[in-house]
Amino acid sequence: DGGITQSPKYLFRKEGQNVTLSCEQNLNHDAMYWYRQDPGQGLRLIYYSQIVNDFQKGDIAEGYSVSREKKESFPLTVTSAQKNPTAFYLCASSDRDRGYEQYFGPGTRLTVT
Amino acid sequence: SQQGEEDPQALSIQEGENATMNCSYKTSINNLQWYRQNSGRGLVHLILIRSNEREKHSGRLRVTLDTSKKSSSLLITASRAADTASYFCATVNSGYSTLTFGKGTMLLVSP
């Protein structure tokens, strides 16, 4: 899992509540990413950030928000607007000089009931 | 939208056999990468091959890239039970800095 930590490993929430997933890296990477993984769907990009205080929407950004106030941290908030929030969430970071090879955290499994 | 499509979706072999997985993609790429994921865990980078490379080796892994056919293959030689995992290809498209993942191949290696 490299130098990326995600917490918590499992998270349970009631429908209608916002929830924030943590992602921290100590690899000194400029770029960070959030993915969602559903069974049989592979990974889909939610948001990414190439530099502090800047981020871009990925393929499925609706219902999610992020911030990038520090190089090491890229938290993801799953809002109540996200229609199907139950999923496995993966955070990654990369170094442009290595062809954007990505280092992944261990993931957070979010269950919303 | 997903760019890479792995084939087969699932593969079951015996220890000691070779495993071959294929990946096809649609647009021009900068590089193609293969990742491995054990059940319920994060992905681990295996190998990166650039668009101007045709073949790359790393231990028991061999990756080929055919840009004219927009396809890549991952060969795991002399497989072990510990190789049981899902394997994903991902492309960095020309002019972009993000990865686009396929849906993966689930490999089961039986002792």
pLDDT, tens digit, 9 for 90 and up, residues A20-49? 999 999 999 999 999 999 987 789 999 999
> Residue B34: which pLDDT band, with cuts at 50, 70 and 90?
very high
β strands within chain B, DSSP E: 5-7, 10-14, 19-24, 29-37, 43-50, 55-58, 61-66, 71-76, 85-93, 99-101, 105-110
pLDDT of residue A55: 96
Tell whether B91 lies on the interface with A, counting CB pairs under 8 A.
Answer: no
Tell whether B88 lies on the interface with A, counting CB pairs under 8 A.
Answer: yes
CA distance A79 to A60: 13
CA distance A11 to A105: 16
Query: Rounded to an integer, what is the distance from CA B39 to the centroid of its chain?
Result: 16
> Residue B1: which pLDDT band, with cuts at 50, 70 and 90?
very low
Taking the CA of residue A106 and the nearest CA in chain B, the distance in Å comes to 4
**More confidently predicted of B3 and A32:** A32
Written as six digits, the tokens of A30 are 């400029």
> pLDDT tens digits, residue range B43-88?
999 999 999 999 999 999 999 999 999 999 999 999 999 999 999 9
CA distance A40 to A96: 29
Of A25-39, A45-59, A80-94, B2-16, the one with minimum mean pLDDT is: B2-16
pLDDT above 70 covers a percentage of chain A that reads 98
Residue A56 has pLDDT above 90, yes or no: yes
Tell whether A39 lies on the interface with B, counting CB pairs under 8 A.
Answer: no
Tell whether B98 lies on the interface with A, counting CB pairs under 8 A.
Answer: yes
Residue B15 has pLDDT above 50, yes or no: yes
pLDDT of residue B6: 85
- B1, B40, B92 ranked by CB distance to A100: nearest: B92
Cβ–Cβ gap B45/A103 under 8 Å: yes
Mean pLDDT of B86-92: 94
- B40, B88, B97 ranked by CB distance to A100: nearest: B97
